Amino acid sequence: MKTQAWWREPTRGQWISFLAAWLGWVMDAFDFTIFLLVMPDIRGLPYNNTGNFSSGFLPVAHAGTVIKPTAKISVDKTEINPGDDVKVSWSTQGADVVTVGGYGPVSASGSMTVKPSETTSYTLTASNSLGVEISTVTVTVVPKKLPPPRSASGRGEGGDFPRPSHRER
């Protein structure tokens, strides 16, 4: 009696049936894994079943990767005279809470016009669960320079005080 290798015993049809069944089992296990671990609830409900996601997927607030916040603040003029306007602009990314020092909570990006009476620093603070980012800019208020006093002759020569007129002599 001649012995045959084990893989030669099943017929071609039996091997095809076995491979089809094995592929079906693999695909079924793969689908189960996808539905269980990757896809959100197919009815469009969150996992606590208390509300409806508008598109059947996670809300934007819960999607993606949380990043460390970024913050940038700038002014259109860094030196001004008293009473001049300054435009303060800011932008942030990834922040849950955004504040401008002295002005309280603000939107993630925006601008405002201010009239500082003295040199002032503006501090933008952006924060989320991963940390805090702070950006600062300073506006220097430079007092207006008075023109030099005119001389008695009116040409910048002579003493610091004007000469008395002929009536005062």
Tens-place pLDDT, residues 56-67: 555 555 556 667
| Within a domain: 168 | no
Q: Does residue 58 sit in the same domain as residue 20?
A: yes
Which of 19, 34, 64 is the last residue in one of the domains? 64
The answer to whether residue 7 scores a pLDDT higher than 60 is yes
| Within a domain: 23 | yes
| Within a domain: 147 | no
Structural domain count of the chain = 2
pLDDT average, residue stretch 87-92: 95
Q: Does residue 43 sit in the same domain as residue 21?
A: yes
CA–CA gap between residue 11 and residue 100 (Å, rounded): 78
Q: Does residue 75 sit in the same domain as residue 132?
A: yes
Q: Does residue 77 sit in the same domain as residue 119?
A: yes
Range of the structural domain that residue 44 is part of: 9-64
For the chain, helix (H) and strand (E) counts, in that order, are 1, 8
CA–CA gap between residue 140 and residue 142 (Å, rounded): 6
| Within a domain: 137 | yes
pLDDT average, residue stretch 93-109: 91
| Within a domain: 46 | yes
CB atoms within 10 A of CB 71: 22
| Within a domain: 149 | no
| Within a domain: 47 | yes
Instruction: Order across the sheet with 109-114: list the strands.
Output: 70-75, 86-93, 109-114
For the chain, the average pLDDT equals 80
| Within a domain: 43 | yes
Q: Does residue 84 sit in the same domain as residue 49?
A: no
Tell me whether strands 70-75 and 86-93 are parallel, antiparallel or unpaired: antiparallel
Tens-place pLDDT, residues 121-156: 999 999 998 899 999 999 999 987 777 776 655 555
Q: Is the full-model pTM beyond 0.85?
A: no
* CATH number of residue 100's parent domain: 2.60.40.10
Q: Does residue 89 sit in the same domain as residue 134?
A: yes
